Structure 1
Amino acid sequence: MLRIAYIISIVSVLLFVSCTSKSVPSGKEVYTDFPQEQELKGRTILLDTALFRYPFRLHSGDGKVVVLDLHGTDYFFHAFSYPDFRYLSSFGKRGDAPQDMLSAENFRWNGTFLWILDANKSELTRFEFALSGDSLLRKEAVNLDKDILRALDFVMCEDSTFIIPDYSGDSRFCKVCRGGKLMHKFGAIPTVNDDALQNARPALAQAWRSFIDYNPRNGILAAVTQLGEVLEIYNLKDNTHVVCMGPHGEPEFQLSEGYGIPTGIMGFSDVQVTDKAIYAVFQGHSFKDIAQDAQNGVNHLDGGQYIYVFSLTGKPLKKYVLDHYICGIMVDEQRGVIYATDVNRDEPILEYSIKII
């Protein structure tokens, strides 16, 4: 049921979208393959507690790693020591009380603090670890500007602002001040679908829903499309913008009774910008195959079996082929490892050893 709900949640945001093609906008980069390919075998991280229903994201900071459980029963987040993954505590209580969370989309480290996004409450909350280091305290909550349509992801920028994808269709991102107010918007959807740009901007923006990440050390903001195969790279230090399209191109849809129905593929599911490269989890499953598997009673595994590695300017560097289907990644360049979440397993945290590009 969780797998079905996950697919339905993807389709539900795609409203009133017309067809797009695999045409590539002029001036954009196109890649067809990677110069290197390597198979990786994961090592299971054995945890001393069974907590997860759908471990979707994991990020490390301050000697700890936190895992987001997208469908957590009692708590959305679980903290562990790093790199030994010793359980510390759970937080982000699920419920209807004022300090509870209705949903959890993503979270970001900011020094010793953690910022957490609740889309259903349109709220960002800051947590801090107690002096003991094994529990978290809720420090403040920031209500997002009403002009910001449903926020589904965010990053921290310059320690005082947030960058949030814009689903109005007027631009690509919203820059939001520390108090939650919209400052300005920037970027544009790099589509060749002129009709949708003219007549269905909000719907097109929802169709181009992307997962994002930002590295303040090099100023690189990366966005990868959940449908289709598009990577965007914004260098916020020199204001350059690169669009890279793979063989599957833009998200594909057909209009049916006023709704946009995906006809292409499930694309990327996570991205991380390191100091040296951009790592992105890619799926590539077609919606046709997913539907056929469901009809035939075939258990379709969630996640992607590939990690694509790009340079900070969008040049394809390497493709990793994994022995598991994964959703989220955490790349530790210093230790030469990638940690990943596999929602299909009872022991969902995996470790892959890599040679840093």
Structure 2
Amino acid sequence: MVLKILINILFLFITLVACTSTPHSNGIFYVDFPQTRELKGTVIPLDTALFRYPFRIRVQGDKAVVMDLHGTDYFCHAFSYPDFHYISSFGKRGESPVEQISVENIRWQGESWWALDANKSELIRFSCDLSGDSLFRQKSVNLDKNILRALDFVMLDDSTFIIPDYSGDSRFCWVNRKGRVLYRMGTIPSSNEDAMKHARPALAQAWRSFIDYNPHNGVLAAVTQLGEVFEVYNLKDSTHVVCIGPHGEPEFKLSEGYGIPTGIMGFSDVQVTDSAIYAVFHGRSFKEIAQNARKGIHVDGGQYIYVFNLKGETLCKYVLDHFVYGISVNEQKGTIFATDVNKDEPIIEYTMK
């Protein structure tokens, strides 16, 4: 089990009471949250067993889709919502032109789904059939060869994707629907000047971030997989806030030009709603993970959901009774659905207090 956890970490790898004015060369520190609340989840019973590593959950309308990072036959599984009856699977695993080698993330757009295959360097759109009971591959977009291994994406609008830049030269790439880079934006907000000068690709690997975007308020959020850095980009007024938690920037060591993760596992998912930003946080060091494994404690995921406002100020820390990876937040209903990779029935529902 410990080997599986470490393999998954490496596979994934390749902000206060409120944000204070504590100085930092590239941001501001947060220390704690004004509220801490414990949440107890309800396990959602499923009528089928499908998952190896349920990494993401997305809900829209009367459907929910769970993405299996290591799916055996299919990467994505659709369920009815809110009763979670199995509908169908899509994103078939394989190496043919109409199959996927991997799926890193999935996004709704209207009645269609988009999925990212990093190994094929393509984005794929799936649409529902006339009955609405299954999804089929509708089109694919080959990404520009100048994009270095895309690992996440969001839709800015009907014609543009935003993809993190892992070359180290910028923070994000704006990409059109033909897969071509329109322009690049931002820089890695690191205080590691030596790495910025001499090891930018390795630094970019260490700063691998999960992102989300809400077109209603124009807020793009990025959270680091290592360390504890939370960024808010408001694309409407061009403001950028960097908040750094107690664990600091992502830590890594160089080995043959690659960044090897050290320090802690940080965030694993983020969602921007109309009024707040929710992020799953782990906060466990690689040393702690190894020590727990020797004691027979084998868990994977984060036990915290951090809530920030749209300016990056902290609001609340939820402490969960499960270790989770992905979340889907519905503020109107006051619910959070999360995926627990440690359980045979991995979908957990939380009611926010």
For the superposition of Structure 1 and Structure 2, which TM-score range results when normalised by the shorter chain? over 0.9
Is the CA contact (8 Å cut-off) linking 2:33 and 2:317 kept in structure 1?
yes
Mapped pair 1:180 → 2:179: yes
Residue of structure 2 equivalent to 1:301: 299
Mapped pair 1:71 → 2:70: yes
Question: Any idea what SS the aligned residue of 2:342 has?
Answer: coil
Residue of structure 1 equivalent to 2:141: 142
Is the CA contact (8 Å cut-off) linking 1:301 and 1:344 kept in structure 2?
yes
CA-to-partner distance for each residue in 1:271-325, whole Å, 9 max, x for gaps? 000001000000001111122233x252331000000000000010000000000
Deviation at 1:2, TM superposition (A): 3.3
Is the CA contact (8 Å cut-off) linking 1:167 and 1:202 kept in structure 2?
yes
Give the residue type in structure 2 aligned to 1:343.
Answer: V
Report the Cα distance in structure 1 between the residues aligned to 2:41 and 2:212, rounded to whole angstroms: 24
Question: Any idea what SS the aligned residue of 1:305 has?
Answer: strand
Unaligned runs of 5+ in 2: 15-21
Deviation at 1:153, TM superposition (A): 0.2
Residue of structure 1 equivalent to 2:17: none
Report the Cα distance in structure 1 between the residues aligned to 2:118 and 2:259, rounded to whole angstroms: 22
With structure 1 as the length reference, what TM-score do the two structures score? 0.93
Would the alpha carbon gap of residues 87 and 214 (structure 1) be closer, same or farther in structure 2, given more than 3 Å must change? Answer: same
Mapped pair 1:291 → 2:293: no
Unaligned runs of 5+ in 1: 14-22
Deviation at 1:38, TM superposition (A): 0.4
Report the Cα distance in structure 2 between the residues aligned to 1:287 and 1:33, rounded to whole angstroms: 22
Residue of structure 1 equivalent to 2:18: none
Is the CA contact (8 Å cut-off) linking 2:221 and 2:270 kept in structure 1?
yes
Question: Any idea what SS the aligned residue of 1:131 has?
Answer: coil
Give the residue type in structure 1 aligned to 2:138.
Answer: K
Residue of structure 2 equivalent to 1:50: 49
CA-to-partner distance for each residue in 1:135-157, whole Å, 9 max, x for gaps? 01211110000000000000001
Deviation at 1:27, TM superposition (A): 5.8
Is the CA contact (8 Å cut-off) linking 1:164 and 1:174 kept in structure 2?
yes
Question: Any idea what SS the aligned residue of 1:283 has?
Answer: strand
Residue of structure 2 equivalent to 1:191: 190
Is the CA contact (8 Å cut-off) linking 1:77 and 1:90 kept in structure 2?
yes
Residue of structure 2 equivalent to 1:312: 310
Is the CA contact (8 Å cut-off) linking 2:26 and 2:191 kept in structure 1?
no
Q: How does 1:230-269 map to 2 (within 5 A)?
A: 230-255=229-254, 259-269=258-268
Mapped pair 1:34 → 2:36: no
Is the CA contact (8 Å cut-off) linking 1:62 and 1:112 kept in structure 2?
no
Is the CA contact (8 Å cut-off) linking 1:24 and 1:245 kept in structure 2?
no
Question: Any idea what SS the aligned residue of 1:279 has?
Answer: strand
Deviation at 1:86, TM superposition (A): 1.4
Q: How does 1:1-357 map to 2 (within 5 A)?
A: 1-10=3-12, 13=14, 25-26=24-25, 28-255=27-254, 259-294=258-293, 296-355=294-353
Is the CA contact (8 Å cut-off) linking 2:165 and 2:171 kept in structure 1?
yes
Question: Any idea what SS the aligned residue of 2:71 has?
Answer: coil
Question: Any idea what SS the aligned residue of 1:190 has?
Answer: coil
Deviation at 1:259, TM superposition (A): 4.7
CA-to-partner distance for each residue in 1:162-209, whole Å, 9 max, x for gaps? 000000111000000011100000011001011111111111111100
Is the CA contact (8 Å cut-off) linking 2:221 and 2:232 kept in structure 1?
yes
Report the Cα distance in structure 2 between the residues aligned to 1:335 and 1:196, rounded to whole angstroms: 45
Is the CA contact (8 Å cut-off) linking 2:223 and 2:270 kept in structure 1?
yes
Deviation at 1:158, TM superposition (A): 1.5
Q: Which runs of 4+ in 1 moved over 4 A?
A: 256-259
Report the Cα distance in structure 2 between the residues aligned to 1:138 and 1:261, rounded to whole angstroms: 36
Report the Cα distance in structure 2 between the residues aligned to 1:165 and 1:257, rounded to whole angstroms: 23
Is the CA contact (8 Å cut-off) linking 1:75 and 1:93 kept in structure 2?
yes
Would the alpha carbon gap of residues 44 and 189 (structure 1) be closer, same or farther in structure 2, given more than 3 Å must change? Answer: same
Give the residue type in structure 1 aligned to 2:240.
Answer: H
Q: Please, what is the CA RMSD of the aligned residues?
A: 1.5
Residue of structure 2 equivalent to 1:18: none
Question: Any idea what SS the aligned residue of 2:264 has?
Answer: coil
Residue of structure 2 equivalent to 1:17: none
Is the CA contact (8 Å cut-off) linking 2:202 and 2:258 kept in structure 1?
no
CA-to-partner distance for each residue in 1:53-77, whole Å, 9 max, x for gaps? 1100011124211100011100000
Is the CA contact (8 Å cut-off) linking 1:130 and 1:136 kept in structure 2?
yes
Deviation at 1:30, TM superposition (A): 1.3
Q: How many residues align?
A: 344
Is the CA contact (8 Å cut-off) linking 1:278 and 1:309 kept in structure 2?
yes
Give the residue type in structure 2 aligned to 1:9.
Answer: F
Would the alpha carbon gap of residues 194 and 346 (structure 1) be closer, same or farther in structure 2, given more than 3 Å must change? Answer: same
Report the Cα distance in structure 2 between the residues aligned to 1:243 and 1:257, rounded to whole angstroms: 30
